[in-house]
Chain A
Amino acid sequence: MIEGLIGGFGDVIQPWNLLLLFLGTGLGLMIGALPGLSSPMAIVILLPLTYTMQPLPALLTMIGVYVGTKLGGSFSAILLRTPGTPAGACTALDGHPMAERGEAGLALGYATLASTFGGVFGWVIAITFIPLLATIALQSGNADIALVGILGLLMVSSFVRGSMLKGLIGVLLGLLISTVGLDPVDATSRYTFDIVDLMSGIPFAAALTGFFGIAVVFSDLKLVGQRSEKIVAKVNLALPSMMDMVRRWRPAVIGSLFGTGIGAVPGVGAEGATWIAYATVKRQSKNPEAFGKGEPDGIIAPESTNNATTGGTMVPMLTLGIPGDGSTAIMLGALVLHGIEPGVMLFQSNSDLVYGILAGLLIATIFMFLIAWRAIRMFIFVLQQDRSWLFPFVLLLATVGAFATVNSVYAVYIAIFFGVVGYFLEARGFPVVTVVLGIILGPIIEANLRLALVISHNDWTTFIDTWPRQLIVALIVLVLSWEIYSGTKDARKGRRSKIGISD
């Protein structure tokens, strides 16, 4: 293992490989920061360029993009409240309020440090526990994934602003939207109205572009012409010091653990993991009221999570040949194009390549830090511009991004539709994030819950028949009881629920 890794680092340190990895990472940061453009798209576009390369440099270029986009996505989330990638959406909750307070430098700095920490720590965990994580990736049954999804959904209360009822309506709306399309088990058409495009459901990336791109532009239109004076006046270029980061180790560690663990389970993805980590950190915090108003921990948790997923997803990809997300699916395809068949034997048959990829992942994370740290001040420049010329860019990119989710104009209509819906929801005080959580987790919960029941021949005890399942069920019961208890206590005292980001 250690010799293999040393060999891997030796391969990656070749000048040509390093250059490609560096360029890939820089490109990833940029693409990630552009709303709507995401890592799978960038990797697909790069694919033909890598045909003539050797397998390792080809994969290193893609790994660079993959790592870079994870951080890049949060830069636009912080500066514009429009996340560049779905996995960066959660960072907007605290990142943007900080930027509005004039602390964009701090917010971007925390994001960069947390992403780097998550990337490195996630890498270390992934490398150390490859056999364990490979077992989790393989043995996690449909019942386990369904339960994790339900636990994630309960975390919704952490995102509720003021009214719990509005939060629940939001999450149910999200779940309802996620039922559109062909039923995953019986293939019954649900809410498709004989429209073929609707058969595969609402493309959630397009819906997210609507909620976070278009809706944000609508609601911020009133800022046009103000030249963001309130921000420019007090913009602070100060970056966080390493000591600040060390003091905030808890959210970073929690985020990294969630990211690596959830990343290793195929089919959940970084999008869901960031929210779950954020909610957990907030729950444990001494002052949960600060979250949503620009609390650094609220940036650190999701950012360390989404970069830690890169280590997690490598485990099923390299040990089983199973993709953990869209980007790794394309990387697996790239391996095939290079004549390497991924699967359970990859570690044995192509160990040089596997260790090269793992080494490249760590070096890409370091490159990401070096590039991003230098680039922060350039990015802040964006914030100092008048919104009237920023908005057209955001709208243009959101449109392109929505289109690219399925390469079809239909997705643009979806994005516009949810842009309008998102605007009205937000204007009425419904927390849009709860809708998004429903859309992301709904299909995961539904498909896995139903498959678990099909496999167990409709025996519900399947959800408590192993100890990990019992543990998750216990956690679900615990969280639920706590919510009910604190909810009724607050109600008895005649005050509104203090859970969440009260407004």
Chain B
Amino acid sequence: MKRTGKILAGAIALATAFAVQAPIAQASIDCDTVRMIVPWKAGGGTDRLGRGLAVALEKVSGKSVIVDNISGASSVTGSVKAINAKPDGCTILMNGSTEMVAFMTFKQNLPIDLDKMKYVGAFYNTPTWLVSHKDRGYSSFEDFAAKAKANPGTLTIGVGGATGALMIMASGIKGYGDLDVTIVPYSGGADLKKAMLANQVDAGVIHSPVLLKEVKAGMINVLTAGGELTNIEYPEIRNVPTLESLGIPVKVAAIRGIFVPVTTPDEVVAELAGWLESAIKDPEFIEFGKKFGYPPVWINGEDFRKGMYHDKEAYKKIYEAYIKG
């Protein structure tokens, strides 16, 4: 009898403990583990940021956050899987804005579209940049453009991937800048990085802060960027002129954010957004971001969404004018 009493008391204590905790936990996302789909192979830039973010999200949400790399078809395979998941906030997609939009520009009839998902928010902004090996002797975009104009058809711009945002940016530079240059589509970022270090192309379009270490070492020059570099962890290049300031209307910056299925209830989206916004303020994550090249930045879901629609229109224009056919 006594024992039963003890067990009962224990049970009541436990129940009370849960009851006290419940309001804090805000039960709208009801799972212990959040699966964050990163639609790229492990080891790449998006994957590295995703793994850093997962650690920060675990801290603020109290749930375990696992990274699931589902790669293929320029991230479409994994993205489709994520936005068709149960809309309970337990499966989320982490991807970069530019790669999704660029692939949609190149390939029609994809099982993914901007209106098939909801935008939780974004946390990291990396403009693309045009860089060149110092031995090529270009210290500014003007140098490069002048050489290209003087030697039509001879200069090369390397990009990572034939269907990505880097291709859009390079084609925009070529088209709007009226430069007769050859675009060399390497299989991916690592191959392009190698070609840049080996000085095998005149210039390369790559996501900043890739090669930042080499820029700091004076091996690589930054000529121009597809967005402001004001936040980059290297003050010396913060005022590199953007393409827009040079009169070339091309803006390409990969913004990494979180997406969920379009049917996800608003309170779930809000809770996820709350986690993401607090994760960005986590000192360790800020430190991680800075080591990577930039401090994280918060962009709310609505602005993130608008930005991607805007990019889609802009990319389409470049594609129709300078890539198609």
Contacts and interface: CB of A to CB of B under 8 A. Distances in A.
Interface stretch (B18-26, B117-125, B221-229, B286-294): B286-294
Contacts of B106: 187
Given A182-B163, A321-B213, A322-B190, A40 B42 contact: yes
Contact of A337 (B51, B109, B162, B217): B51
Interface of B: 41-44, 47-48, 51-52, 55, 66, 68-74, 76-78, 80-81, 106-107, 109-111, 153-154, 156, 162-163, 182, 184-187, 190-191, 193-194, 197-198, 200-201, 211-214, 216-217, 219, 287-288, 291-292
A454 B119 CA distance: 39
- Choose among A186, A189, A329 the residue with the greatest number of B CB atoms under 10 Å from its CB: A329
Counting chain A CB atoms within 10 Å of each CB, the highest count among B42, B69, B156, B288 belongs to B42
B154 to A, nearest CB: 7
Given A137-B194, A197-B72, A343-B214, 18 more contacts: A47-B51, A48-B66, A51-B55, A196-B72, A196-B77, A196-B80, A203-B72, A267-B187, A267-B191, A329-B41, A336-B292, A341-B292, A407-B69, A408-B70, A410-B77, A454-B156, A455-B156, A457-B154
Contact of B162 (A186, A339, A341): A186
A339 B71 CA distance: 25
Contacts of B73: 196-197, 199-200
A477 B48 CA distance: 45
A503 interface: no
A333 B288 CA distance: 13
A316 B193 CA distance: 12
A330 B162 CA distance: 24
A199 B43 contact: no
Given A189-B107, A454-B182, A406 B42 contact: no
Contacts of A184: 162, 185, 187
Contacts of A137: 194
Interface of A: 40, 44, 47-48, 51, 137-139, 141, 182-187, 189, 194, 196-197, 199-200, 203, 266-267, 316, 320-323, 326, 329-330, 332-333, 336-337, 339, 341, 343-345, 406-408, 410, 447, 451, 454-455, 457
A139 B198 contact: yes
B193 A322 contact: yes
A339 B194 contact: no
Given A185-B162, A321-B213, A343-B214, A332 B43 contact: yes
B71 A333 contact: no
Contacts of B42: 40, 44, 47, 326, 329-330, 333
Contacts of B194: 137-138, 266, 316, 320, 322
Nearest to A266: B194
Contacts of A344: 197, 213-214, 217, 219
A336 B77 contact: no
Closest 9 CB pairs of A and B: A329-B43, A343-B213, A199-B73, A187-B162, A333-B43, A330-B43, A407-B70, A187-B163, A200-B72
A406 B77 contact: yes
A344 to B, nearest CB: 6
Given A266-B191, A336-B292, A344-B197, A199 B76 contact: yes
Nearest to A336: B48
Contacts of A194: 109
A343 B73 CA distance: 28
A200 B186 contact: no
Given A199-B74, A344-B197, A406-B70, A329 B44 contact: yes
A71 B197 CA distance: 33
A183 B163 CA distance: 10
Contacts of B74: 199-200
Given A326-B43, A457-B154, A337 B69 contact: no
24 contacts: A40-B43, A47-B51, A48-B66, A139-B198, A185-B162, A196-B77, A197-B77, A199-B76, A320-B197, A323-B43, A323-B190, A329-B43, A330-B42, A333-B42, A341-B212, A344-B197, A408-B72, A408-B77, A408-B81, A410-B72, A451-B184, A454-B185, A455-B156, A457-B154
Contact of B110 (A51, A196, A329): A196
A267 B188 CA distance: 11
Nearest to B323: A187
Contacts of A330: 42-43
A383 B288 CA distance: 49
A92 to B, nearest CB: 27
A406 B71 contact: yes
A339 B41 contact: no
A197 B80 CA distance: 11
Contacts of B185: 184-185, 187, 451, 454
Contacts of A322: 190, 193-194, 197
Nearest to B71: A406
Contacts of B287: 339
B143 to A, nearest CB: 21
B77 A266 contact: no
A333 B213 contact: no
Contacts of A40: 42-43
